[in-house]
Chains A and B, each alone.
Chain A
Amino acid sequence: MPSNSSDIDSALVTKLGADAALLALLPHGAHWDEAPPGSTRFVIVSLVDAADEPMQGGCAYEDALYLVKAVALSTAGADMKAAEARIKALLEDQALVVAGYTWMTLHREARIRRTEVDDADPSIRWYHRGGHYRLQMAPS
């Protein structure tokens, strides 16, 4: 089956969105780039950077850096520490199955943690916690 990089993106989102433990913490699921309006506890997956390692006749492997983070409104009662830990447990050194690819490595390169404060109403705060995950997949 020919490889399609978008399938890797989808596989990441699907893996996170299908985990019962993570859904219990972040019931509004996992989404690519943006969650639907009204969501208050969710996971965001986004592509930060990608490079193809060339070889004669094609691509040896795709090397991508993803932003994967738990996001929650401060009043939604999310356990951000547990959510970040669950994301890490699902991804760190865990194989990702994608048709057309062979998994090589998946690991966190850096932590991300920030609090977003509304400009007009400082009582409105959003918590972001997760990391940059590096994923390398070789086209089969």
Chain B
Amino acid sequence: MSSNRFVFSGLEELKAQLRALPAALAGEGGHLVEGHANGAAATIKAGYPARSGELRDKLEVEHQTSAFGARSVVRNRSKYADEFEYGSQARHTAIGANRGSMPPNPLFTQTIRQRRRAMYADLQGLLERHGLEVTGDAE
């Protein structure tokens, strides 16, 4: 009869760390997600023209967190947000001014995409600091 045996030591500690991992990641990850969303909103707001203030005033950020995840949504509720983003043709404003055409200004989309890339890089760093190996791309 063989007398070989494998001994695993530290399994209880590993199990405890694995059980705690989701909460630890959610906590730190949530801060990262919120920070990038707030940063994106600040960049977008600063880039909007300061005429009526409509575009700046209607920009909002909503954060949702749970024990296992975080979600932040940046949105602009102004009816002019699409026109600013995608461009507009010769038009008149409600007070009669002729605005002429405006080229697209993808401030919102570009800022969100740039911030999302930075967020993914930071989240990758977070996972690696917790001993996980990360491969592939988020996008």
| Residues in chain A within 8 A of chain B (CB atoms) | 33-35, 37, 44, 46-49, 51, 65, 67, 69, 71, 73, 112, 114, 116, 118-121, 124, 126, 128
Contact = CB atoms under 8 A, between A and B. Distances in A.
Nearest to A31: B103
A124 B101 CA distance: 13
Nearest to A48: B106
Given A33-B87, A35-B101, A126-B88, A114 B113 contact: no
A94 to B, nearest CB: 23
A-B complex: 8 closest residue pairs judged by Cβ atoms: A120-B92, A33-B103, A48-B106, A46-B104, A119-B94, A126-B89, A49-B110, A49-B113
Interface string B75-110: 000000011001111111110100011011010011
Contacts of B65: none
A49 B106 contact: yes
A19 to B, nearest CB: 21
Interface of B: 82-83, 86-94, 96, 100-101, 103-104, 106, 109-110, 113-114, 117
A126 B99 CA distance: 14
Nearest to B114: A49
B113 A46 contact: no
B110 A120 contact: no
Contacts of B106: 46-49, 67
A37 to B, nearest CB: 8
Given A34-B103, A49-B110, 13 more contacts: A37-B100, A46-B87, A46-B106, A48-B113, A67-B104, A67-B106, A116-B83, A118-B91, A118-B92, A119-B91, A119-B93, A120-B94, A126-B88
Given A46-B103, A46-B106, A116 B89 contact: yes
A88 B23 CA distance: 45
A34 B91 contact: no
A121 B94 CA distance: 9
Contact of A44 (B93, B94, B104): B104
Contacts of A124: 91-92
B50 to A, nearest CB: 19
Looking at B94, B100, B103, B114, which has the most chain A CB atoms within 10 Å of its CB? B103
